[in-house]
Amino acid sequence: MIELKAIRWGEPYESLEVDEVNHFYTGEPVARVHCVGAGIIQRDAKKAVRARKALQAIPPAELVDRLKKAGELFESGTLAVGDGKQSPDDFIAQQSATTGMPVAMCKANVTKNAFVLKNIDTILDCLTRGLSLDTLARGYGDEGRGVIVSYQAQCDALGAVLPSNSPGVHTLWLPVIALQMGLVLKPGKSEPWTPYRVYAAMVEAGIPPETFCLYPGAGADIGGAILSSCRRSMIFGGPQTVAQYAGNDKVQVHGPGFSKVIFGDDCVDDWEQHVDLLVDSVYRNGGRSCLNASSVYASRHTKEIAEAMAAKLGPIEVLPPDNPEAGLAAFTIEGAAKAIWGSIESDAEAPGVTDMTSKYGDRLVERPPVAYLRPVVLHHASHESETRNKEQMFPMVNVVECPQAKMLSAMGTTLICSAITNDEAFRRDLINSIDIDRLNLGPIPTPQVDWLQPHEGNLIEFLYRSRALQLAGA
């Protein structure tokens, strides 16, 4: 068992409140995490400026080099994590043990997070749209045509309230250190592993430890304290969290994606060519990510599309986490899977809604103390079906029959839209839509992320404000 102390600007802190993080199935303790209260976070927040100053003492190019090294270490190094040493295999085993995610999925996320660090220069180049990091570091620079540009940092450290269910999201905050801002992180209750390993890798690569705070443990007040004491924060949560922070420019909220694949009328007759893409969009990463498609829209052939998807997704079985073929993650909160299945059964009873996976056996698989849900494909005969855009934390997709002209209004908020159409007018409508965040034109699986494009809001726009700066005599 590993002991993870809270980290307060690089200093380990021993708390009298120690939570155990347990194996999702056996219940055996895997880690002991030291929890802190809101007061410590608020008090520490007053020292955030020191983190920024420590990073400002290091040129951006040097920080980038160290982060690249951190990426290598994160992926392949044996690192000092908590009171022990952690190899990459230890990390993957620990993450799988406490989250219930298959080992293969944990490995994939290691690669994803390491990729971002190892390619941090390219990614930052994309995030800044080619702006030199020196301009951000200095506060101003020359745009290249004799015009001064200036960007004002909006915080000394970014706060982040992290989830337990999707280790891939850490890619969103990894670039912050290169921007010379500290990190104040609340790791997910059952997934403290990634933030602690990133911290260990970065410190070993030469990033000053005093630029990090790690506050593990449960308790909404910890998250609340981070959000209220950091001038910029990101939080991950469900629709309620999204609604709570909507319009709050201090908080970037990441919630359900409601991502979709849609067919234009010009391409829908070729749907059979795209079944693998549809299945990949729903199933990759266990269907737990905001990147996964939760709905497919087409004006015709929807029953056949749903049947074809069900034929591929329906037979997928629950496999032990260490099986390389395992693709389904356990629901570790008691009663959660059963409740979700109950709600899907109720949705499937609505007029025009058909469960296309029912013939492939029971969807709810109870393996006390956890449970699994096997993939579900629901067919919606009408775009007016109330549940057409529902998203769940497992591979579940709604195949919706909808005239092309009604699609945009029926789809609602969509994090990623993969539009299989060559109809220029329709493409133009999609480009103009303010409900779609990432738009893929053509047959691109929704989870396929081009790291050279901003995802879910540009980090630079969130952390910096473009402002005027005038130099006398310039």
Q: Which residues of this chain interact with other proteins, rule CB under 8 A?
A: 15-17, 35-40, 42-43, 46, 224, 227-228, 240, 243-244
Nearer to other proteins, 14 or 349 (CB): 14
Residue 35 Cβ vs other proteins, minimum distance, rounded to whole Å: 7
Residue 103 Cβ vs other proteins, minimum distance, rounded to whole Å: 32
Residue 466 Cβ vs other proteins, minimum distance, rounded to whole Å: 26
Residue 50 Cβ vs other proteins, minimum distance, rounded to whole Å: 16
Residue 228 Cβ vs other proteins, minimum distance, rounded to whole Å: 6
Nearer to other proteins, 15 or 458 (CB): 15
Residue 10 Cβ vs other proteins, minimum distance, rounded to whole Å: 17
**3 state SS for the chain:** CEEECEEECCEEECCCCEEEEECCCCCCEEEEEECCCHHHHHHHHCCHHHHHHHHHCCCHHHHHHHHHHHHHHHHHCCEEECCEEECHHHHHHHHHHHHCCCHHHHHHHHHHHHHHHHCHHHHHHHHCCCCCHHHHHHCEEECCCCCEEEEEECCCEEEEECCCCCHHHHHHCHHHHHHCCEEEEECECCECHHHHHHHHHHHHCCCCHHHEEECCCCCHHHHHHHHHHCCEEEEECCHHHHHHHCCCCCEEEECCCCEEEEECCCCHHHHHHHHHHHHHHHHHHHHCCCCCEEEEEECCCHHHHHHHHHHHHCCCCCCCCCCCCCCCCCECCCCHHHHHHHHHHHHHCCCCEEECCHHHCCCEEEECCEEEECCEEEEECCCCCCCCCCCCCCCEEEEEECCHHHHHHHHCCEEEEEEECCCHHHHHHHHHCCCEEEEEECCCCCCCCCCCCCCCCCHHHHHEEEECCCCCCC
Residue 7 Cβ vs other proteins, minimum distance, rounded to whole Å: 16
Nearer to other proteins, 209 or 219 (CB): 219
Nearer to other proteins, 243 or 431 (CB): 243
Residue 12 Cβ vs other proteins, minimum distance, rounded to whole Å: 15
What residues are paired with 232 via a beta bridge? 158
Nearer to other proteins, 94 or 164 (CB): 164
Residue 38 Cβ vs other proteins, minimum distance, rounded to whole Å: 8
Nearer to other proteins, 186 or 260 (CB): 186
Nearer to other proteins, 5 or 260 (CB): 5
Residue 47 Cβ vs other proteins, minimum distance, rounded to whole Å: 12
Nearer to other proteins, 29 or 224 (CB): 224
Of 383, 386, 382, 360, the residue nearest 373 (C-alpha): 360
Nearer to other proteins, 36 or 463 (CB): 36
Nearer to other proteins, 36 or 308 (CB): 36
Hey, CA dihedral for 167, 173, 177, 179, is it positive or negative? positive
